[in-house]
Structure 1
């Protein structure tokens, strides 16, 4: 049986008692671990209980495929239902799971942490098609899922989240559920003692913000937007806080490289959305995504090629000429900003 997204929360709270084993899989290791843990705790809250909890490595079942069915039928010496955790698991556990399907009796719950299984995976197919098994997919959170994660965690602590703070937090979080949980928990711990019932943008910046990285991001945005006044302010702030000029130059290069890569894919016959999907490490949504798309429209391939050459020259100057790094980086940003269409449009 395949668990559909709308069924996940209810299934995690109370798994169908007819289900003998659940294969938890996907590309989000943190979410796999979180959901597998939640399932195991529906059977036994104390997962350190040696009488009711058994941990098996997936490769151990390759040479002993009958063990899973045996564990399913075994009774706890101290009473109570048992949970069998199989992790990490891959295709080598398929035969063991087939034996579980054929097992005559038992009441343990088998929780298999299967990793990123493809649609052709035998383990995944078995879990999706057998009535006594379940396949629970875990994929990286999208914007809506991250918003829900932040708001539900805050609500559990009696807190509300300001809209601008929510947008900024979601923009900073990645797709991995474990990392996202860690960052959210850190923020809520910070709020626990101040008596306020609202998470503000200042709170988020104080806990989750990397000041240097944010400052450099602002420089990159202003440079490629051609916002000369905003660029001067952003550069002043970065350097006043001890920002590294070479790091700034490399941030400009990364951004130009990403733009060039996506523009190149699109120019080769693909659409822009498809090109962004293929490229890795790009902003997924929100204001950062909108800014990236704006820069794609404003910087065609020839202009990006010229920009990359200028950036490379500036990095070499930082390393070899003995001139002040900050002066070289500032001059580079201003030169790029003045070359952008936004700056020319305001002349």
Structure 2
């Protein structure tokens, strides 16, 4: 069956198909639709998830043989298949078609592809999956719709955009929805529940300090402890918000903890696991170099420390926020603080 994006919530409230195909060139829209489906599946007992990036060169037979293997713990599972080229090849097309004819019990298959070209729509594997499951094509907002999309997202995040505030942000992000959502998340963190004028949005988005915030994360990932201290001192002198520094560090610590856990579970080598994450290609080597510094438990421990630092920043616990941030960043870089 075909579903429109705005029909997904209503559909999931009533039903959960064995297969979903999500199509979009926008990573944010794919991510959010997948999360929505997985959230519903979790409520229905799907407790584990495997993410697999596949193309025409993949061993499709092994992929689905492994998927059909019953779990030792009799758990319901999610197979999150990233087929971004939309080209499974002869073997992949055969494997997907055969799977559609006999889906594995207690396995939810989510297939993500890029743009839904005519060759994909007419392919046997796509038609087979569409027949047994649901296919959703996720279109990004048109240029004349982008400001409205941004405003809706800002309000959903608890912000109160004034006249032209959304237009300013829409112009800044130039159609990059993922970048827009990241900016909205940061604005919500810095100005929770507040009114946002066009000038305020412009100043916040253009703030050069935010680039230094990313710099501290990169230096920590690279293991350059001396640079970590200098960048933090610079941020403090410039009056950078401690909440924003913590947000940037915690985002990548969460990725490190997840990647390390997948490595320990034998879900692939570091390079392949990092490649499956939402990490800019230019930064992947930083994560690959950082992972061996700690176990998954060690990275989770640093992530838990973020929650304690958040309380310090909010005045709910005693301590120096900048000192705590320095200790966290140095620990990420490979120190023992």
TM superposition score normalised by structure 2:
0.50
> Distance in 2 between the 1:207 and 1:43 partners?
38
Q: Is the 8 A contact 1:159 1:199 kept in 2?
A: yes
Residue matched to 1:339: none
Q: Is the 8 A contact 1:186 1:207 kept in 2?
A: no
> Distance in 2 between the 1:9 and 1:204 partners?
31
Residue matched to 1:112: 111
> Distance in 2 between the 1:131 and 1:6 partners?
20
Residue matched to 1:33: 31
> Structure 1 pair 177/163, CA: closer, same or farther in 2 (3 Å)?
same
| Count of residues in Structure 1 that have an aligned counterpart in Structure 2 | 201
SS in 2 for 1:91: coil
Residue matched to 1:139: 139
**2:59 is aligned with 1:63:** yes
Give 1:84's match in structure 2, choosing from 79, 97, 117: 79
Residue matched to 2:155: 155
TM superposition score normalised by structure 1:
0.49
> Structure 1 pair 57/132, CA: closer, same or farther in 2 (3 Å)?
same
SS in 1 for 2:79: strand
Which residues of 2 match residues 282-301 of structure 1 at below 5 A? none
Residue matched to 1:197: 194
Residue matched to 2:325: none
Residue 119 of structure 1, CA deviation:
1.6
Cα deviation 1:11-36 (Å, max 9, x = unaligned): 4x54832x222221222233223322
Q: Is the 8 A contact 1:36 1:111 kept in 2?
A: yes
> Structure 1 pair 105/113, CA: closer, same or farther in 2 (3 Å)?
closer
> What is the Cα-based RMSD across aligned positions, in Å?
3.3
Any stretches of 5+ residues in structure 1 without a counterpart?
212-347
> Structure 1 pair 104/53, CA: closer, same or farther in 2 (3 Å)?
closer
Which residues of 2 match residues 195-344 of structure 1 at below 5 A? 197-209=194-206
Cα deviation 1:34-62 (Å, max 9, x = unaligned): 322332333238xxx9x711122213884
SS in 1 for 2:118: coil
**2:48 is aligned with 1:52:** yes
Q: Is the 8 A contact 2:55 2:87 kept in 1?
A: no
Residue 204 of structure 1, CA deviation:
0.6
Q: Is the 8 A contact 1:31 1:176 kept in 2?
A: no
Residue 159 of structure 1, CA deviation:
2.7
Q: Is the 8 A contact 2:19 2:110 kept in 1?
A: yes
